Structure 1
Amino acid sequence: MNAATAQALSPYVADAFAAHYAGNEKPDQATLTLSSGYVSSSDPNVKFLGQMLYALWTDLEPTDNRALLSLEPKIELYVLGTYASGEFDKGAAEIVAFDSQTGLLFVTNALDNTIDALDITTDPANPSKAFTIDLAAYGGGVNSVAVSYGLLAAAVQADVKQDNGVVVFFNTAGTFLNKVTVGALPDMVTFTPNGNKVLVANEDEPCDDYNVDPEGSVTIIDISKGVLNAEDKTAGFEEFNDQKDQLTAKGVRIFCPDATVAQDLEPEYIGAPEFVQYLNNRDFDRDAEEGTVGDLAPEGLTFIPAAQSATGQNMLAVANEVSGTTTVY
């Protein structure tokens, strides 16, 4: 798409995002006609733009994206220390998990397809890399990491992301233990509180031209008999395929007109966390292009209770996808 076309379309994109995040999706007929025309285009870039606009404008309204939470007493954060990967806007820090037994943070690095183990115990004000777990042997990219009772699980997509991915298990020293095949594009992995099961959200994204569109699914891995004896079951959404019209009428968004319900439902998140918040920690007084913006685009966070932290105080660790930094508060 050339610069002139992009500039002409930018107001439509801005309006769509503004309406979406304000929970006020009320497109006029001209906007709907424009989006539909793009969706029908043979140009994959234009078609993708149309799909994006359509998705933003047809989300449920009016308050789907507005959640006002009263936090009393207020939570106050201050920066304790930051580890910088040195890579900006490359996904070098996305998801973070804390192991209370070793005092290590495990951070996914999508750029290098690794998990970086950061020491925040020796000197919390200056986190340092203890070691790296290389995942190249297991697939094309790491998407998520979780840790429980000395066991680490990493969700890794296949080299071709429409193929089935794997969850790879290590001990917290980085030694490989086992791997389990799951659905395509495993986007999140988490342990149940007792550590006996591992839950995986398989996003199953299609390829750009939709010639291959795997079905979304959820995998449950039972490790109650030990990780070497792991048993897994994967559940999809096939039973809803004949209810497509009823579901869309009730507000369920089926993105691609030719997709089945099972293909178009793409789980990205799984679990029932006790602590949920999204943090905006961008310093707008700095320059992103010059690399001085500091932490940018918080993607994953983990809470560290005072009883488990090196400072004796509650801590919050945040992985920032764009700036490639991991910050401890």
Structure 2
Amino acid sequence: MVRKIAAAAIAALFVPVVQAAGWEKLWTFEHGAGTSVAGQTSEILAFDSLNNELWVAGLKGVDILNAATGSFVQHIDTTAFGELNSVAIRNGVAAFAIAAPIKTDAGSVLTYDTTSRSFQQSYLVGALPDMVTFTADGRIMTANEGEPLARPGFATIEARGSISIIDTTKDSVTTLGFSGYDGTTGLGRIVSPGAKPSIDWEPEYIALSKDGQFAMVTLQEANAVAKIDLMSQQIVSVTSLGLKDHSLPGNELDTTDRDLPGNVSVAGNYRNAPVFGMYMPDTIASYASGGKTYYITANEGDSRNLEDFVNGEFNEEVRVGSSSYVLDPTAFPDAAALKATSNLGRLTVTTSGGDLDGDGDYDQIHVFGGRSFSILDENGNQVFDSGNQLEALLFADPALRALIDDGRSDNKGVEPEGVTVLELGDRTLAFIGFERTRQSVIAIYDVTNPTAATFVDFIVDADSLSPEGLSAYEFGGKYFLAVANEVSGTTSLFSITPVPEPETYAMLLAGLGLIGLAARRRRG
């Protein structure tokens, strides 16, 4: 069916819509007791084209599902090795990334045959491998987060973030760290006071260039990306992603969950504010356009908060309204008004940035995450950002606005976390999953033109919550999107159908700044 939705175009934001694809939910599988294994969750998944199966990584191991029917096939228990974080599949080989029982110790990658489902080999990699992928030539890469481990009554154990490259033909592992950047400044944020890149930077996710020569790695807390030369197996650059100016039109945000007297919440209270966002992407995906590689990032945001584990340990989070967060009187002559609960007082910010002159007060307000997705060129430079479209478009649809959890407005909003891409004929679609909505929500964008991505539709799955792992693929001449939903512990599969001759619709309405958008949606 064709359905019209209204989208807020704050401060004359012009948001075109492309009618490029329809979608239909095929099935949802609920992991855990009664279906697979008690305590099993759904976090990251990979498609096995040899057997038409989805391998879904969760806390207890991997659940294998029949992709055609959504039925349970088998569980592989990995709890004896540590905590399973990620799975990837290539040419009948599955690779599991597993953190050691003590997460600051070396992690491991296990490989399995996807047909016999038998164990093949184990490799030691860096501390806390959080994501695993295959290169074009069959090597295996892991992003090793290397988080610090806080311990009650003992000193915190530091770990080094790294990237490991496994050559299975030689049984060799090369692990790359950031000690070569210890004398540099301005390339990536330093979070912990007095730390250096080799200790502080934490790789999160990997995407590969289309020519197979390079990999781009997100350094989430550092608000940067690292480029890896896969031929020389060296880190060739680290690029800061900079700051997003929320005082500019198109970058509006909702800063509080207590908008009115009596702590009354008003969802969708989007406005410009003297605030700078750190993009801090989690997932990254790559695609080709015009013979070049581009990277799409889901700008979730993340902080370092060891106080959640041990009282008194380092925590960079603070609210603007806290008495300990002092705004520079010259930069913020209206500091008292800004600190009001109905203004910025509830907004969660960092203590590890914004004090530009080192005098102990804050000259800029830095918040976690971009509340958006971005497109980067092959060197990590931004060519597109979705501004506030992800939330504003969702809120502007009367049927969908209730899905926004205003309780998250003071802390990263809907939190775009997962992203994947799909080539659909001569167009490329990106799917961006929101971690913090009241049902599973995934935005579809046409990113064929990297500098002018266009909104297509929202996929809403009322049976699921918090999409984390997304995988789009073609099989048997048809297109699919598989989604692992972390909080609900469900996996869903959607069919994606091309719409011939995509057209762009946009109409700017006088005075209100509203755009009428048309998008084709097929619901299951």
Question: Partners of 1:70 and 1:184 in 2: how far apart?
Answer: 44
Task: Please give the alpha-carbon distance, in whole angstroms, between the structure 1 residues aligned to 2:183 and 2:190.
Answer: 13
Matched, 1:83 2:29: yes
Distance 1:281 1:254 in 2: 26
* 3-state SS of paired residue (1:255): coil
- On the 8 A contact 1:82/1:327 being kept in 2, the answer is yes
- CA distance in structure 2 between the aligned counterparts of 1:282 and 1:81, rounded to whole angstroms: 22
Specify the SS of the correspondent of 2:156. coil
Q: Which amino acid aligns with 2:126?
A: G
TM-score, normalised to structure 1, is 0.66
Contact 1:299 1:319 in 2 (8 A): yes
Write out per-residue CA displacement over residues 228-276 of structure 1, whole angstroms, 9 at most, x where no aligned residue: x421100000011122xx22xx6x2111013221111000101233325
**Tell me, what secondary structure is at the counterpart of 1:262?**
helix
CA deviation map 1:102-131 (0-9, x unaligned)? 011000011x2x11110123x3xxx11111
- Relative to structure 1, is the Cα distance of residues 242 and 200 closer, same or farther in structure 2, using a 3 angstrom cutoff? same
Task: Verify: 1:214 aligned to 2:159, yes or no.
Answer: yes
Alignment of 1:152 with 2:306, yes or no, is no
Letter in 2 for 1:214: A
Are the equivalent residues in 2 in contact too, given 1:199–1:271 (CA < 8 A)? no
Give 1:137's aligned amino acid: A
Distance change (3 Å), C-alpha of 1:280 and 1:204: closer
Contact 2:437-2:466 within 8 A present in 1 as well: no
Letter in 2 for 1:116: D
Q: Which residue of 1 aligns with 2:230?
A: none
Equivalent-residue separation in structure 2 for 1:283 and 1:253 (angstroms): 28
Among candidates 300, 315, 320, match of residue 469 of structure 2: 300
> RMSD of the alignment, in Å?
2.6
- Listed as ranges, the matches of 1:152-191 within 5 Å are 152-172=94-114, 173-191=116-134
Q: Is the 8 A contact 2:40 2:489 kept in 1?
A: yes
Change (3 A) 1:282 1:216: closer
Identity over the aligned pairs, expressed in percent? 36
SS in 1 for 2:133: strand
**Superposition deviation, residue 136 in structure 1:** 2.2
Q: Does 2:54 align with 1:105?
A: yes
Deviations 1:26-70, CA, capped at 9 Å, x for gaps: xxxxxxxxxxxxxxxxxxxxxxxxxxxxxxxxxxxxxxxxxx996
Q: Distance in 2 between matches of 1:132 and 1:282?
A: 29
Equivalent AA in structure 2 for residue 119 of structure 1:
N
Distance 1:269 1:262 in 2: 17
Find the residue that maps to 1:257 and give its secondary structure: coil
Deviation at 1:154, TM superposition (A): 0.2
Contact 2:439 2:466 in 1 (8 A): no
**TM-score (normalizing by structure 2):** 0.42
Provide the residue aligned with 2:481 in structure 1. 316
Matched position secondary structure for 1:93? coil
Q: In structure 1, the residue corresponding to 2:112 is in which secondary structure? A: strand
SS in 2 for 1:263: helix
**What SS does the corresponding residue of 1:234 show, helix, strand or coil?**
strand
Matched residue, 2:63: 116
Q: Letter of the aligned partner of 2:131 in structure 1? A: M
Q: Secondary structure at the match of 2:199?
A: helix
Q: 1 or 2, which has the higher helix percentage? A: 1
Seen in structure 2, the aligned counterparts of structure 1 residues 281 and 185 have a Cα distance that, compared at 3 Å, is closer
Question: Which ranges in structure 2 are unaligned for 5 or more consecutive residues?
Answer: 1-13, 34-38, 209-285, 288-420, 422-429, 441-460, 495-524
- Change in 2 beyond 3 A, CA 1:281/1:136: closer
Cα distance in 2 for residues equivalent to 1:325 and 1:186 = 23
Rate the CA distance shift 1:82–1:161 in 2: closer, same or farther, 3 A. Answer: same
Deviations 1:179-233 (CA, angstroms, capped at 9, x unpaired) = 0000000000000134x2111100000013662111110001112x2xxx42110
- Structure 1 residue 128 corresponds to structure 2 residue 105: no
Residue equivalent to 1:261: 197
| Structure-2 residue corresponding to 1:235 | 176
Give the number of the structure whose residues are more often strand, by fraction. 2
Secondary structure class of the residue paired with 2:183? helix
TM-fit CA distance, 1:72: 3.5
Q: Structure 1 unaligned runs (5+)?
A: 1-67, 287-291
1:285–1:129 distance in 2 versus 1, CA, 3 Å: closer
1:282–1:294 CA contact under 8 A, matched in 2: no
Aligned counterparts of 1:132 and 1:69: Cα–Cα separation in 2: 44
3-state SS of the aligned residue for 2:203? coil
> Given the alignment of the two structures, is residue 143 of structure 1 paired with residue 85 of structure 2, yes or no?
yes
> Which whole-Å CA distance do the structure 1 matches of 2:133 and 2:15 have between them?
25
Distance 1:171 1:213 in 2: 35
Return closer, same or farther for 1:283/1:265 CA change in 2, 3 Å cut-off: closer
How far does residue 304 in structure 1 lie from its aligned partner after superposition?
1.9
1:130 alignment partner, SS class = strand
Corresponding residue number in structure 2 for 1:328: 493
Tell me the CA shift for residue 278 of structure 1. Answer: 1.4
Alignment partners' CA distance in 2, 1:156 and 1:325? 21
Q: Which residue of 1 aligns with 2:283?
A: none
1:109/1:214 CA distance change after superposition, 3 Å: same
